């Protein structure tokens, strides 16, 4: 019996090291080019979106679509750095549109009702906002800024819930996510090198070394790059040539994240790597291998790389990381708690916390912590939606079939929650990583032996990737 085309196309091997290096190097050049060419940047964003729509409308399985969704997630900061001629929340809406099209073509047999509950509980507070704002344009902007993130999170979590992802597609997902991250880091590196020898570093977040865009968001994406590169190392542990990009990129993302002077990326990157390690190293066979990798990474990073960066910045980097303050985030969070107690049922309304906080408590600034913002703006319904979100995350981690799958789920969940704690939902990253954490990772399908039928092969392919 001849194997079907659907089985044959799952066979094969990951891209060769030269192809991977070319892809990553090409994105370094592309990222810098996008920074200086509005046409190139806008064309790149539209092309990624159209490719996602095409795959959502034509693909039979999600294996080709998921890497594109990951690519859009890590491209969003690159687009914003380049000031693309598109609306600000393009990353969130494009991801949502692509996945909604996929859901319409492929209704899930096991709906993630918690994702819908999480989103629906946030809708009633819109009424308060509508009565508070008469200007339609301003109203639309407020609702879009504050609800596009939760909407994207609900769509990603609903679509990816218990969806199977074969090994080769998972491999492509990691590579596709790394490409734009390299572009971001390269853009920041060029900006840093152009500062000149006489540049004086301060002790606050640095816009100049962040490619001219928000250091907090740039740093957070580079922290995600550290995690993705770390997971890459464990996927490619059988081939040193394919492990090498992961090791180099961890150090590169670490260095460039540190130079933004935003502590967010380093803490998130190291924290999520620790979470993944705790899951992976429970296996005695991995203990020596994993411990060796961690020793090298943290040894080189802490003993060699960070001191070199500190000297480059005139010792200002160590001053920055010695500061344990939360950049007034704690004041805004406490004020949001106060608003929640004053408006317990529906809160102050979607997007109204900043105005209400300034009027009632005299505290300025937009919320950085998504969880306290939800309590202030949605009241008890926001608290219930948070419970649904946390239950969804815990259930995802507990459902992991292998240690690598648990490491993947737990690390991405940790990244999503940490991002929402320090940066709200300003990017699509926390929504996408929450959804991607719910994927089920599968082994590659083997070649058909003579006399074996398709059912046997499909049954084999349901085994989890325990050997990764």
pLDDT surpassing 70 at residue 327: no
| Number of Cβ within a 10 Å radius of residue 162 | 13
List, for residues 56-113, the tens digit of each pLDDT value. Answer: 999 988 999 999 999 999 999 999 999 998 988 999 999 999 999 999 998 877 888 9
DSSP per-residue letters across 283-297: SHHHHHHHHHHHHHH
48 pLDDT band, cuts 50/70/90, is very high
Q: Residue 464's beta-bridge partner residues?
A: 442
- Give me the pLDDT at residue 354, please: 79
* 364 or 86: which leads in pLDDT: 86
Q: Which range, 88-97, 325-334, 340-349, is most confident?
A: 88-97
Task: Point out the least confidently predicted range of 203-207, 244-248, 295-299.
Answer: 295-299
- Give me the pLDDT at residue 435, please: 95
Q: Which range, 176-185, 304-313, 448-457, is most confident?
A: 176-185
Q: Pull the structure tokens for residue 460.
A: 């084999």
CA angle 442, 25, 276 (to 5 degrees): 40
* 32 or 244: which leads in pLDDT: 32
Percentage of residues in the chain having pLDDT higher than 90: 43
What is each CA distance from 432 to 4, 89, 99, 213, 292, in whole angstroms? 33, 14, 11, 21, 31
List, for residues 396-412, the tens digit of each pLDDT value. Answer: 888 888 888 888 999 99
List, for residues 228-261, the tens digit of each pLDDT value. Answer: 999 988 776 656 667 777 888 999 999 999 999 9
In this structure, is the dihedral angle defined by the CA atoms of residues 65, 423, 414 and 103, taken in order, positive or negative? negative
- Give me the pLDDT at residue 158, please: 93
Q: Pull the structure tokens for residue 184.
A: 């971001």
* 326 or 195: which leads in pLDDT: 195
Q: How far apart are the first and last CA of the chain?
A: 30
Percentage of residues in the chain having pLDDT higher than 70: 85
Helices 215-235, 167-193: axis angle to 10 degrees equals 140
- Give me the pLDDT at residue 8, please: 37
- Give me the pLDDT at residue 429, please: 95
Task: Point out the least confidently predicted range of 41-45, 179-183, 396-400.
Answer: 396-400
- CA–CA distance, 361 with 159 (Å, rounded to integer): 41
List, for residues 376-392, the tens digit of each pLDDT value. Answer: 889 999 999 999 999 99
pLDDT surpassing 50 at residue 413: yes
* 155 or 108: which leads in pLDDT: 155
- Give me the pLDDT at residue 463, please: 39
Task: Point out the least confidently predicted range of 159-168, 170-179, 365-374.
Answer: 365-374
Q: Pull the structure tokens for residue 41.
A: 């940047």
What does the mean pLDDT of the chain come to?
Answer: 84
- CA–CA distance, 135 with 133 (Å, rounded to integer): 6
Mean pLDDT of 102-126: 90
pTM: 0.88
* 435 or 131: which leads in pLDDT: 435
- Give me the pLDDT at residue 90, please: 94
List, for residues 448-463, the tens digit of each pLDDT value. Answer: 444 444 333 333 333 3
């Amino acid at each position: 019996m001849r194997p079907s085309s659907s089985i044959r196309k799952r066979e094969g091997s990951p891209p060769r090291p030269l192809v991977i290096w070319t892809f990553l190097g090409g994105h370094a050049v592309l990222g810098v080019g996008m920074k200086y060419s509005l046409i190139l940047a806008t064309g790149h964003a539209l092309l990624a979106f159209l490719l996602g729509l095409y795959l959502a409308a034509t693909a039979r399985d999600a294996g080709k679509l998921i890497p594109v969704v990951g690519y859009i997630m890590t491209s969003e900061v690159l687009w914003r750095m380049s000031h693309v001629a598109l609306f600000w929340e393009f990353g969130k809406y494009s991801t949502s549109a692509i996945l909604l099209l996929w859901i319409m073509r492929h209704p899930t047999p096991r709906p993630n009702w918690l994702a819908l509950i999480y989103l629906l509980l946030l809708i009633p507070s819109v009424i308060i906002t509508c009565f508070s704002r008469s200007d339609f344009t301003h109203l639309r902007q407020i609702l879009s800024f504050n609800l596009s993130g939760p909407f994207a999170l609900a769509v990603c979590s609903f679509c990816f819930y218990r969806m199977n992802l074969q090994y080769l597609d998972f491999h492509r997902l990691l590579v596709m996510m790394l490409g734009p991250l390299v572009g971001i880091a390269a853009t920041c590196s060029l900006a840093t090198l152009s500062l000149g020898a006489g540049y004086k570093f301060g002790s606050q977040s640095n816009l100049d070394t962040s490619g001219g865009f928000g250091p907090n968001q740039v740093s957070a994406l580079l922290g995600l790059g550290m995690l993705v590169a770390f997971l890459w190392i464990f996927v490619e542990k059988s081939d040193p040539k394919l492990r090498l990009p992961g090791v180099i990129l961890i150090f590169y993302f670490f260095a460039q994240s540190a130079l933004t002077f935003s502590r967010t990326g380093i803490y998130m990157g190291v924290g999520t790597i620790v979470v993944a390690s705790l899951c992976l190293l429970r296996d005695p066979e991995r203990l020596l291998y994993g411990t060796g990798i961690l020793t090298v990474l943290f040894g080189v990073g802490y003993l060699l790389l960070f001191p070199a960066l500190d000297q480059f910045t005139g010792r200002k980097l160590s001053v920055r990381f010695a500061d344990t303050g939360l950049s007034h985030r704690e004041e805004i969070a406490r004020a949001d708690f106060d608003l929640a107690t004053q408006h317990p049922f529906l809160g102050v309304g979607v997007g109204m916390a900043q105005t209400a906080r300034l009027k009632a408590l005299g505290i300025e600034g937009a919320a950085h912590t998504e969880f306290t913002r939800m309590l202030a703006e949605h009241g008890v319904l926001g608290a219930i939606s948070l419970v649904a979100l946390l239950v969804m995350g815990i259930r995802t981690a507990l459902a992991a079939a292998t240690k690598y799958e648990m490491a993947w789920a737990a690390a991405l969940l940790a990244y999503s929650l940490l991002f929402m704690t320090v940066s709200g939902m300003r990017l699509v990253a926390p929504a996408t990583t929450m959804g991607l954490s719910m994927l089920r990772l599968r082994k590659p399908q083997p070649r058909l032996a003579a006399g074996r039928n398709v059912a046997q092969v499909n049954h084999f392919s349901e085994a989890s990737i325990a050997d990764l």
